[in-house]
Structure formats: structure tokens, C-alpha cells
Amino acid sequence: MDTDVEALMSNAMETASAILAAYAFSVIGALLILIFGLMAANWIQRWVRSALDRIEAVDPALASFLSKIVKYTIWVLVFVTVLSEFGVKTTSILAALGAAGLAVGLALQGTLANIAAGIMLLILRPFRVGEFIDADGIAGTIMDIGLFATEMKRVDGLYMMVPNSKLWGASVLNYSRNATRRLELIVGIDYGDDMGQAREILLEIAKSDQRVLDDPAPVSFVNSLDDSSVGIGLRCWLPASEYLVASWDITETAKRRFDEAGISIPFPQLDVNRKPDETEKEAA
């Protein structure tokens, strides 16, 4: 009995020795590939992040996302290489990963579309944090631009989160990007009033306002001949940051100055003539 046990132990030791001898280099090689591969992935991630951070056009969120994608891609390559050290057919693994990626992509079409749109928004930057935009009716001040959605603050103070795909597919009107904006004010005056005097008043209002820029110089003109009034126009340029308040002030001042000068601002009027019927004619 002891002889059989000793023989069994001896065979087991020989088998283990043979397996160890056969796979020793594979195990050591796999461990080295795993250790150095993961270290290289972390180092390359930091290098990519540092390189992207030096590019002014690349948003920090985009730089972080791309560097992580590089890291995870290297991880996949490292694990596939480790498995190949043990004789595993990597082609089947890559095919399985490809099929899994396709299935995930089909299941997350909307999410991936938002990520792709977020990347394009962060690269091209049609708007930045703090700017006021209108994207086909989606209007507000940008609070944060993420990879999935953009956070905005509406003019009424309400919070709004918009999927990036909606913003990327819309025409974006950015009210804050340019430093200056043109104000165009049209005031209707009566046909009997002096057009030249009205033009001079509007021009004086613009020139006396310190917010109005000298270049381009403000201009006043006759804009239209309407049914009930003559449209007198004023065009001037203002700093974008002061546009809204300045436009309110200039409009109010124009109404007050016209009243002081006796220039009326008519409203549309409609004359209705009623034709009497036969009974009314007989009574008359």
C-alpha cells in the first residue's frame, strides 16, 4: 500500500514538474507582459492627457475622456497578449469582443450618438460655458458641457439639461461669442411729421449714449413707408454685454424725445363703412 502511494506521489510530482517546465516561460512571460503592459497603459494615459491639456482647443473633459479610451484600449491588447502566451487563440477572443461591442453599440445608439455629439461640441466649440445661445428654440446660458448632455440655465432661471445630439443637430445662434452687436431700432412717425427732425433726434440719442460705439458710426435713415406711418430707423453698435439694457434705454429715450418734439407715433387705424339696408333707407 505504501509503495502504491509513493508511486502515485512520484507520478504527480513528475507530472507537475513537466507542466511547470512546459509553461514556466509562458507564465513568467505573461506576468511580465501584464505588469509592464499595465504600467505602460497608465504612463501613456498620463502622457496623452498632458499633451491634450496643452492644446487650447481641447476641452479638459474631452482630454480626460480620450486619455481613458487610450488606456482601456491598451488594457484589452495586454490581456489578449497574455492569453496568447498560454496558447489561447486570440482571433476568437477578438471576434467575441467585436460581436459584444456591436451588440452594445446597437443597444446604446442614442447614448453613443450623444457621446459623439459631445466630442464634436467640445472640439469645435460652437458655444462655451457662460455664453447665451439659441439652438432652434432651445435657449439659455451654458452652465456645463458634458459628454452626454449640456446643462443650461434658461432666461426664467430654470435648470435645463439637453442631450448633446439635439444641440449638435440644430442651428446654434450664439449671442455672446462676438464682442459687439448691432442695434436696429425702427420707429414709426406720422406722415405729417418732419422726417429729417426725427432722424436727427435718433442720431443725437445714439451719439450721446456712451455705450454706443463710434466705429462703426451710428446711422439714421428712412426705413419704410407703411400704411399708417413712416418708419425711421437707427442702426448703432453696442458691446454685447450691454446690448439688452442699452436697447431698452435707447427705445425709451426715443419715445420721450419724440413726445417733447411733438412728433407722434401713430398706431394702425381701420375705417369701417357700413352700408344701410333697404329698411333703413326707407326710414331715412
Domain ranges in the chain? 2-107, 127-174, 180-260
Q: How confident is the model at residue 194 (pLDDT cuts 50, 70, 90)?
A: very high
Q: How confident is the model at residue 270 (pLDDT cuts 50, 70, 90)?
A: low
Mean pLDDT score, 187-216 = 93
Cα separation, 122 vs 248, in Å, equals 35
Q: What is the pLDDT of residue 73?
A: 81
Contact status, residue 149 vs residue 88, Cβ threshold 8 Å: no
Contact status, residue 59 vs residue 145, Cβ threshold 8 Å: yes
Cα separation, 82 vs 23, in Å, equals 13
Sheet holding 219-225, edge to edge: 180-189, 230-239, 219-225
Q: What is the pLDDT of residue 202?
A: 95
Q: What is the pLDDT of residue 178?
A: 92
Kindly give the residue spans of alpha helices, DSSP state H, lying in the chain: 2-53, 60-85, 90-107, 109-124, 164-168, 195-208, 243-260, 278-283
Q: Which residues contact 110 (CB under 8 A, 6 or more apart)?
A: 163, 165
The CA–CA distances, whole Å, from 186 to 52, 233, 246, 257 equal 49, 4, 15, 15
CATH number listed for the domain at residues 180-260 = 3.30.70.100
CATH number listed for the domain at residues 127-174 = 2.30.30.60
Q: How far is CA 212 from the centre of its chain?
A: 31
Cα separation, 77 vs 67, in Å, equals 16
Q: How confident is the model at residue 269 (pLDDT cuts 50, 70, 90)?
A: low
Mean pLDDT score, 87-99 = 64
Cα separation, 85 vs 89, in Å, equals 10
Averaging pLDDT over each range in 16-20, 89-93, 191-195, which range is the top one? Answer: 191-195
Cα separation, 85 vs 29, in Å, equals 7
Q: How confident is the model at residue 280 (pLDDT cuts 50, 70, 90)?
A: low
Higher pLDDT, 275 or 234: 234
pLDDT, tens digit, 9 for 90 and up, residues 254-265: 999 999 999 988
- Please give the mean pLDDT across all residues of the chain: 81
Residue (of 205, 104, 120, 206) closest to 164 by Cα position: 120
Q: Is the pLDDT of residue 67 over 70?
A: yes
First to last CA, the chain: 144
Q: Is the pLDDT of residue 189 over 70?
A: yes
Q: Is the pLDDT of residue 97 over 60?
A: yes
Contact status, residue 268 vs residue 228, Cβ threshold 8 Å: yes
Q: Is the pLDDT of residue 1 over 70?
A: no
Mean pLDDT score, 244-269 = 90
pLDDT, tens digit, 9 for 90 and up, residues 27-60: 666 677 777 877 887 888 888 778 777 776 666 7
Mean pLDDT score, 137-147 = 89
Is 222 strand, coil or helix? strand
**Which percentage of the chain shows pLDDT scores above 70?**
72
CATH architecture of the domain with residue range 2-107: Orthogonal Bundle (1.10)
Higher pLDDT, 198 or 124: 198
Q: Which residues contact 129 (CB under 8 A, 6 or more apart)?
A: 142, 143, 144, 145
Q: How confident is the model at residue 87 (pLDDT cuts 50, 70, 90)?
A: low
pTM of the shown model:
0.61
Contact status, residue 70 vs residue 46, Cβ threshold 8 Å: no
Mean pLDDT score, 64-93 = 72
Grid cell at residue 250: 435707447
Which of these ranges, 17-26, 209-218, 239-248, has the smallest mean pLDDT? 17-26
Cα separation, 93 vs 80, in Å, equals 8
Cα separation, 174 vs 170, in Å, equals 12
Q: How confident is the model at residue 104 (pLDDT cuts 50, 70, 90)?
A: low
Q: What is the pLDDT of residue 223?
A: 94
Q: What is the pLDDT of residue 265?
A: 83
Cα separation, 21 vs 18, in Å, equals 5
